[in-house]
Amino acid sequence: MEICANCFKKSLPASPFCAYCGYPKIDIGLKRCGKGHIIYETYKNCPFCHHLENLGKTLVNQPAGENTGGTRTEILNVATNIMNPHNMDQQTKEITKPGPIDDKTVFETGTGDKTVCESDTHDKTVLEGETDDKTRVETLTGYLDKTVMEDEADKTILDEGTGEPLPPFFAWLVYVDEAGKPLQDIRLTRQKTVIGKSADADIRLNDPFASNLHAVIHFEGGKFFISDLGSRNNTWLNEKKIMNEELQDGDKIRVGHQNIIFKRVRRNL
Amino acid sequence: MNINDQTVFEDEKELKGWLVVLSGEWQGRDYRLFPGKTILGSSHYAHIYLPETGIEPFHFSIRFENEEVWLTDLDSDAGLFIDEKKIHREKIVDETLFKAADVEFLIKIL
């Protein structure tokens, strides 16, 4: 058993993150910039503040007394910035993410719920040269294809089944932190939007607790629905486990450890 | 400013809502709104640049302040209308429809 340097709770050694607070337990090469942002060791300057000083301090594998803290959000921001084309020249081309992960690692949380951490190759090595073929837009936890999304914002969306044009709709997914502060928004411009860890998902999550194809949001008959795609850790809507539910404006979705708010224009346009 | 241009909000900016364009050449576009004042106009210096016919360089502003949202006409010739009624400064709520020149807009508050 290992003890988390952040919350001091015991958890399974195979996991790269603490099952309770999400803090990284093993050496994944993180450090802090002079202003305190958590970034990868390979960065020469901080992507958040471009601070150049005091970059040699490694965060993890340090005694608990020297722990400088850090939130899960900051760590996710680090993961996101790996794919940020603005940082590509400032870092090595290939960055290895959290070390050895078992194929299926089961965590038992304090409430008795079991969550399963799936690993796949997408998470271990991040996207060397992926920005070459398409202009991709990174989100907090993944990326969208910018070209496609911009084009689709102006187009009439056709029903995938009938081919008839769908009524115009405006809907967004807003990623929020634990305190509910919005971190990023994504406009839904397709009839079906798949959320998951896989590169095949429309919205990619950098979350070990998300499945490759975790959930899908689809628009049908003027309503939005969310369906779980057989994910291991389930899809949660307003803190209830769901399989297929209609989405209402302001609903709170949880996929893996990501909190998402669904917003839509309710008027008929 | 289009969706996805800004990937992660800056520390001091917290998303408050969106301005959706419902008609005209830019129909279907949405623009993020942040605390404080956001000016829409056909000038490049406006926060939201919308080069539509009839839209003035600085046409109207949307201000998020103390959990309230205010829509203000910036002395435009074409005016600003809510339900066909010309307004100068009006407190608005979620999903308010309004018109500037011939362009229809909708406010969506987070």
pLDDT in tens, A105-137: 344 444 444 444 444 433 333 333 333 333 344
Contacts of A184 in chain B (CB under 8 A): 7-9
Residues 78-117 of chain A with CB under 8 A from chain B are 80, 84
Contacts of A168 in chain B (CB under 8 A): 28
Q: A187, B97: Cβ pair inside 8 Å?
A: no
Cβ(A55)–Cβ(A47) under 8 Å? Answer: no
- Cβ burial, residue A175 (10 Å; 0-12/13-18/19+): buried
End-to-end CA distance of chain B: 18
Contacts of A263 in chain B (CB under 8 A): 108, 110
Q: Give the separation between CA A58 and CA B8, rounded to whole angstroms.
A: 25
Interface probe, candidates A186, A187, A188, A189, chain B, greatest B C-beta count within 10 A: A187
The two three-digit tokens of residue B3, written as one number? 């969706």
The two three-digit tokens of residue A2, written as one number? 């290992």
DSSP designation for A125: B
**Per-residue confidence band for A71, with pLDDT thresholds at 50, 70 and 90:** very low
Q: What is the pLDDT of residue A21?
A: 79
Asked whether this complex has an ipTM greater than 0.90, the answer is no
- Cβ burial, residue A136 (10 Å; 0-12/13-18/19+): buried
Q: B14, A153: Cβ pair inside 8 Å?
A: no
Q: A184, B8: Cβ pair inside 8 Å?
A: yes
Q: What is the pLDDT of residue B60?
A: 95
SS3 category, A141: coil
Q: A174, B108: Cβ pair inside 8 Å?
A: no
Q: A184, B9: Cβ pair inside 8 Å?
A: yes
Contacts of A174 in chain B (CB under 8 A): 15, 110
Contacts of A150 in chain B (CB under 8 A): 2, 4
Q: A150, B97: Cβ pair inside 8 Å?
A: no
DSSP string, A180-231: --EEEEEEE-SSEEEEESSTTSSEE---TTS-SS-EEEEEETTEEEEEE-S-
Residue in B27, B32, B95 nearest the CB of A267: B95
Q: Write the pLDDT tens digit of every residue in A232-259.
A: 999 999 999 999 999 999 999 999 888 9
**Per-residue confidence band for B4, with pLDDT thresholds at 50, 70 and 90:** very low
Contacts of B27 in chain A (CB under 8 A): 154
Q: Write the pLDDT tens digit of every residue in B69-104.
A: 999 999 999 999 999 999 999 999 999 999 999 999
Q: What is the pLDDT of residue A50?
A: 65
Cβ(A19)–Cβ(A65) under 8 Å? Answer: no
pLDDT higher for A55 or B14?
B14
A38 Cα to chain B: minimum distance (Å): 15
